[in-house]
Chain A
């Protein structure tokens, strides 16, 4: 479903990588690996369509990713949490869903926050939460996420052991429903999935 051909990335004057390509089908997971500065985040930004590749092409369902259709199928979680400090976790979730054109009821949002262990903190402004808790607010988006392609940049950072297990379960469930996932990670987490691919940069 997602195909990348012969991608080349130049940042500043340095060529980070060239000739990168892969195919990813339904239910498959792709691990991106590589040392710091190898271009993992740049490749992710290419795959989500924010960074145009110097050479090469990326296709989703056979068509170029520079379209609204692709973005409607994409769920991206960057290393920034994309939550507003002034808003409560609940408001953050609801606002994010509305801005992404997704249907999310208040009950579903509360349920998602409970699952990430933030029960009772729905109405506390996010600036009063710890780093790990903020990360959980960001991850709570994934609980009700129905879109087929997940691209996650270091999703396990700042999480405790229990949360890592929980997130692995969420990703695994997504793959079992026929979703696709691409992620960078330094911790190798065991995610039960049909096919796990690896791509090493640099």
Chain B
């Protein structure tokens, strides 16, 4: 009973809200910094690919977006597991705050994949195993958001959404391998998105862009979590103080 009480305090919105508020500017600054460095390296320094020309540079968006879309789903599942095990309020808010960013990343990955595919393979869409899995991941994000949006009671939405995430995270590897299996059977060899012989600068700019996306996702998730918190806790004392501060235009 005791440690559960401590966890409650640790994850209590009243302490988390101001903490997130102070952290957000740093994450935004880091995102801008990494983004500028990554774009500089990727767009100006990295050499033109002798096979794919300048068009390949879209992978500096495509690959980090794909990584983030998968990573965010794992993070959401992690929060969901915490939420279901310890019944903390914060975890549900975090999963709901992360979902739109995750979906955006999946969508971005599909979009850039299509934009890249047209000049490279002459088709907007190919049923490549990774692209197909990314599409299914987008479906999973949409399913999660639709479920939590359809349930009015916030606590029930958190719990049901969390359970769906856990079921999803168990299924993601199964889906991925089945799609891969399907792909090798039907297409012979799949088109490899990441070229093996990658220049050092390309790798660096990709990593920098990944860091940029990571920081951006954290900043955005924290902002969204703060909004969700205020909305849900508007009847509590700390949220009232916070809201009245905003109404009179003053900062806390």
Contact = CB atoms under 8 A, between A and B. Distances in A.
Q: In the complex, are there CB atoms of A and B closer than 8 Å?
A: yes
Contacts of A13: 232, 234-235
A120 interface: no
Interface in A14-60: 52
A52 B159 CA distance: 13
Interface string A1-15: 000000000001100
A52 B153 CA distance: 15
Interface string B32-53: 0000000000000000000000
A13 B232 CA distance: 8
Nearest to A11: B153
A90 to B, nearest CB: 37
Contacts of B235: 13
A13 B152 CA distance: 11
A114 to B, nearest CB: 43
A106 to B, nearest CB: 40
B74 to A, nearest CB: 28
A52 B87 CA distance: 11
Contacts of B87: 52
Nearest to B236: A13
A13 B154 CA distance: 9
A13 B155 CA distance: 10
Nearest to A14: B235
B212 to A, nearest CB: 38
Nearest to B1: A57
A12 B153 CA distance: 6
A52 B235 CA distance: 22
Nearest to A15: B235
Nearest to B152: A12
A12 B157 CA distance: 11
Contacts of A52: 87
Contacts of B232: 13
Contacts of A12: 153-154
Interface string B211-252: 000000000000000000000101100000000000000000
Nearest to A12: B153
A105 B109 CA distance: 64
A49 to B, nearest CB: 15
B60 to A, nearest CB: 45
A52 B234 CA distance: 23
Interface string A117-156: 0000000000000000000000000000000000000000
Contacts of B153: 12
A124 to B, nearest CB: 38
A52 B156 CA distance: 12
B94 to A, nearest CB: 20
A10 B232 CA distance: 13
A12 B156 CA distance: 10
B27 to A, nearest CB: 30
Nearest to B87: A52
B156 to A, nearest CB: 10
B125 to A, nearest CB: 44
Interface string A47-80: 0000010000000000000000000000000000
B160 to A, nearest CB: 15
A23 B235 CA distance: 33
B102 to A, nearest CB: 28
Contacts of B154: 12
Contacts of B234: 13
A166 B232 CA distance: 48
A45 to B, nearest CB: 14
A82 to B, nearest CB: 22
A12 B233 CA distance: 11
Nearest to A10: B155
B162 to A, nearest CB: 15
Interface of B: 87, 153-154, 232, 234-235
Interface of A: 12-13, 52
6 contacts: A12-B153, A12-B154, A13-B232, A13-B234, A13-B235, A52-B87
